[in-house]
Amino acid sequence: MLRVVVSMFMILITSHCVEAAAFFKNPKVELALDSNVLYTISDKPTLTGEELWVDDPSRLPRQTHQYLHFKVSVHNELEKLVPVWFSIGFPAMKVLVVTDGVSVWKTGDDSPYSTRPVNAPNYHFPSILSPSSETEFRGYMQGEILRYTFTLGTPEYFNQRYVKTLQRDMAFFGAMALLTALCLVGFITSRNWVFLSFAAFIFSTTFWFFRVFGYAFEILWPSSPYLNDISYALSIYAVLLSAFWVLLQSLAKEGHSVYGAKHIKRFCLLMPFAGLLLWQTLGLDLALRLPVLLFFPFIITAGIVIYVEHKRGSDRAKWLAAAMAPVTFSTLVLTIIALFNVDLYLEPIATFMTGIVLTCLFMVSLTANYMVKVVQRERDTQKRAAKLRSEQTSKLEALVKERTKALEDTNKTLADIASKDSLTNLPNRRTLDLFVDNTFTHGNEEHEVLAVALIDLDHFKSINDTFGHDIGDEVLKTIAELLSPLNNDKQVAARYGGEEFAIVQRYPAYQKTLNDDLDAFAAQLNDVHANINALRIEALQGRTIGASFGWTLCESSSDIVCAFRRADKALYTAKDKGRNVIIKAL
């Protein structure tokens, strides 16, 4: 009670926080918001208005049942609408509610995966920054463990980052799966338990990464969020237990007892029960931190055991020490960063993944080399041993080729996903930009012109407010079905953002045919406009759909930005003239 009173007093004398807006300037980079966020706590999701806001949540004496509220303002310094994702990375919260003043999202680790606004490991909330104005994001979270970081970026930025991350993760999981398979094959053929211990360690580490990266939430139990904590506890304890198993099996010999083996086995038996006891008495956070903290005693114990076994004359001890060096270093980096928030100027996940792969490769290589020698002695023939190595190499090459082909197929699929809008399946803004840029490259500057048209659905917000966002999405998909046939090598019809679409067509810059081409483009816009007006969607209950068009001509790469601005200005002129008309910018 005294600690709570002291903490509240510290809040009173340090809570003169003025909310400082973060400035959004560059859509191509991620905007960090942690230094601009203000926090407060409450016993209920709603606020009374008398709460004290601070810029450091560690000042708040929050209990596990209380709600941590946050708010941050973002000022758009650009003179245009910018679709963005308000992102909460490193998520660890049971309940999470976020609003941008227009939409409200309710999700969290206790909710099914389908509640996430964006299909991604982290929590992303799609919003739109109005030109030269301020948008406030606020919300609250609740749970025994709260870990988070706030950022803001465009969908294109996050999608590009997730493509790279997915490629890295799939390569890692592929390598770990291959190593696990090799270890299992080694165990089946040799009946040597060290192979099985390696397989258990590699598999548990891989599953831990699979759970930490969020793939398990989406693939294995998307509708059973209660399994998140259970699976994480099982995976983290399995990693440490299997590491002890590898230590003992690597040094084991027939008729020889590894130094300290009995005490290590007793400790491994008691550790899961200690974790359960901590969970029930001191909380989930400490129970999950226990195996991470025990990594330091594991390193000391492993070092002592390896040293003693080396002094006893074991050749395996020095090789085991060398094999464990990469994972020991990388795990130390990850643990120090995770527990003590120290910046070591290394990317922790990539460093740990590299250490794991190197250690597993080293251990499998050493064990395979040892087994080859055993086979040579048992069969007493170099020819049979060489044949065995050749067969193993062929299997490895076949598996690598299979994995390489799978990765190539994955990359091709990811490239297709990155070029399409997830809701409408139309080309996205990135594809449109590439089409425009490619028009004026490779010597085409003086030979091509572009007709640029922007389309904005009239009163679309009213449709969302009246009929709901599901119906709004249905309207967008219906419009996309009208525009999709327009896509070809010379023309792109794309979703520009929100309820805006764009049509861009390239023409040869020959004056004799250009006027006829532009007349044909204008006629095409008239047809699109008429088709939109003729749409009848049952869910709209007889309400018609209107659209405002603005279009212009772009004659060079230096005119791209201005051309889109002219088309946008013509679009707003159409809005001012009563909407549902087509305006050409001169």
Answer positive or negative: Cα dihedral of 282, 283, 289, 290. positive
The answer to whether residues 195 and 367 touch, using CB atoms and an 8 Å cutoff, is yes
Which two three-digit tokens encode residue 207? 């599953």
Q: Under DSSP, is residue 46 helix (H, G, I), strand (E, B) or coil?
A: coil
Give the count of alpha carbons within 13 A of 28, CB side only: 1
Q: Enumerate helices (H) and strands (E) in the chain, giving the number of each.
A: 16, 15
Report the alpha-carbon distance of residue 321 to residue 302 in Å, rounded: 9
DSSP string, 69-129: EEEEEEEE-SSS-EEEEEEEEEEE-SEEEEE-SS-EEEE-TTS-GGGSSSSSSSEEEEEEE
Cite the active site residues: 499
In the block, residue with structure tokens 């299979």:
402
Return the axis-axis angle of helices 315-340 and 227-251, rounded to nearest 10°. 150
Percentage helix, strand, coil, to 5, in the chain? 55, 20, 25
Report the alpha-carbon distance of residue 395 to residue 400 in Å, rounded: 9
Report the alpha-carbon distance of residue 558 to residue 417 in Å, rounded: 30
Report the alpha-carbon distance of residue 161 to residue 178 in Å, rounded: 26
